[in-house]
Amino acid sequence: MIELRTPAEIEAMRPAGKFVASVLDAVRASASVGTNLLELDRVAHDMITKAGAESCYIDYHPSFGGSPFGKVICTSINDAVLHGLPHDYAIKDGDIVSIDFAASVNGWVADSAVSFIVGTPRDEDLRIIEATEVALEAGIAQAVVGNKLGDISAAIGDVARSYGYTVNMDFGGHGVGREMHGDPHVPNDGRAGRGYGIREGLVIAIEPWFMLGTDRIFTDKDGWTLRSADGSRGAHSEHTVAITADGPLVLTARD
């Protein structure tokens, strides 16, 4: 069921958005060559504890997960493109690091993701990160009253194709509110003018993610981490966005 939020409820979601943004900033600042992914998870875990927030991930066990997630952030490295389970791995020079984080503050959830390169960048890696960021902005621009969800999806897909990437349709954006994942599903490709009519009060996570050489994925033996089928690298960008009478409000905007 799609739930619409009142202006007061959207205001109440702002602290969650600001907190999620602050954690992503702190985790990114803590990532350097040699940093262990478990250290990054501890940074986020300590911030959750200090803020009195609640993790959306640690006990999360949907049908596609092999077990309860057990950590508080997703750390996807290089060909690991989504749902990366933090493990004993030291970041190497040139790695693409994608961090996805969701938390609940005062009963309201926000969800966001960022991709970046640690150390020496490769042009193709910078380009795919840029593509997800451009696609995210294009999707947000279509998140206005009177448009359709298909307008958001089509905008994201158009950006992917303009960069020469294909789009995986297994995972995409989603509703956000009291829970991390809700209706509606927001695919990363679609047809403009189709689907649910966007209304004031809708709150969604918009999250383009692309891979350099394929649109197919497989699940790692850890039961969570999704990897590109051909070993090519990927990137992921995400914001929680509220649709207001004045336009889209990015609740998880980072400094």
Residue (of 152, 247, 182) closest to 2 by Cα position = 182
The residues pairing with 113 across neighbouring beta strands, listed in sequence order, are 100, 238
Residue (of 98, 38, 26) closest to 72 by Cα position = 38
pLDDT bin (cut points 50, 70, 90) of residue 66 is: confident
CB-based contacts of 86, cutoff 8 Å, min separation 6: 37, 38, 40, 41, 71, 73, 74, 75
| Distance in angstroms (rounded) separating the CA atoms of residues 45 and 26 | 11
Overall CATH class of domain 7-250 = alpha beta
| Distance in angstroms (rounded) separating the CA atoms of residues 103 and 126 | 28
Q: Say how far residue 137 (Cα) sits from the centre of its chain.
A: 13
Residue (of 113, 108, 112) closest to 54 by Cα position = 108
Domain positions in the chain are 7-250
Comparing 51-65, 157-171, 182-196, the range with the smallest average pLDDT is 51-65
Please answer whether residues 228 and 81 qualify as being in contact, where contact means their C-beta atoms are separated by less than 8 angstroms.
yes
| pLDDT for residue 62 | 86
Tell me: cis bond preceding 86? Omega within 30 of 0 counts.
no
pLDDT tens per residue across span 129-174? 999 999 999 999 999 999 999 999 999 999 999 999 999 999 999 9
Residue (of 169, 179, 171) closest to 225 by Cα position = 171
Please answer whether residues 54 and 60 qualify as being in contact, where contact means their C-beta atoms are separated by less than 8 angstroms.
no
Q: Has residue 204 got a pLDDT over 90?
A: yes
| pLDDT for residue 226 | 97
pTM for this one? 0.96
